[in-house]
Structure 1
């Protein structure tokens, strides 16, 4: 039988939570969607938007997470996944396998994506560079 005590119902409207600048990256803004609280920390879901033009990107890193997807809602972002340059555009969904080394190095001013990660308190670990990174394009 389904255990209904492990999680609780959640309904978060756009006015219930606001974009905040105290997330993982200072050049993005993050809006919590209430899923971490509803799942007792099993999963986090958050909207992420561009806040500042890309300068240095995220740096090479990996996440200690069992599950991680990014669904691009608007705009685009360029990632290096290991040594593969990947353009993620509006409508695309990326599953980042556990431990994949990656670097987000460029994005559009209107970039917005939904990020779903388990567990909610996943860790980000800096790693040695895998390869050279293309320079981001300037916003006009």
Structure 2
């Protein structure tokens, strides 16, 4: 396999990048894994973890992306994908097909997942509600 000049080798250790706020959702923290820079924006990979108890969730939305997966590393999260409630637990992998309408509405305090999306600068578009959303589980 030949090497290409448009991507770089990347190796990021946990102590090199910390969790920060300021990502897509203010109730999550994000840790950049260096993939967006290494791929010149073709792909982003980051760790996402709970920062605050779920109150309103993400709201109904879709992404303008070619590819997106979520791999749950710790805890759990409940999503609506179209009108289907889906519990995603540690060890699960979800491929979110392009354009699927979804809503992350509940998650555990220890929730942490790996998200990989292409392109790195994917857009999030709010959409009309598909169906009612169950209440989140209160944190004690």
**Smaller-chain TM-score bracket:** over 0.9
SS of residue matched to 2:37: helix
1:2 to partner: Cα distance: 2.9
Measure the CA separation in 1 of the matches of 2:97 and 2:54: 25
Partner residue, 1:76: 76
The equivalent residue for 2:137 is 137
Shift of residue 35, structure 1, vs aligned partner: 0.1
Which deviations, in whole Å up to 9, do the C-alpha atoms of 1:62-87 show, x marking residues without a partner?
Answer: 00000000000000000000000000
* 1:55 is the counterpart of 2:85: no
TM superposition shift of 1:3: 4.3
Distance 1:73 1:2 in 2: 33
1:4-15 equivalences under 5 Å are 4-15=4-15
The DSSP-based 3-state class of the residue aligned with 2:16 is coil
User: TM-score, normalized by length of structure 2?
Assistant: 0.98
Equivalenced residues, count: 140
Report matched runs for 1:100-139 at 5 Å: 100-139=100-139
CA root-mean-square deviation = 0.7
Work out whether 1:98 is the aligned partner of 2:104.
no
Q: Render the CA deviation track for 1:32-70: whole Å, top value 9, x for unaligned.
A: 000000000000000000000000000000000000000
CA distance in 2 between counterparts of 1:3 and 1:73 reads 31
The residue that corresponds to 1:41 in the other structure is 41
The two structures have a TM-score, normalised by structure 1, of 0.98
Q: What's 1:89 paired with?
A: 89
Which residues of structure 2 form unaligned runs of 5+?
A: none
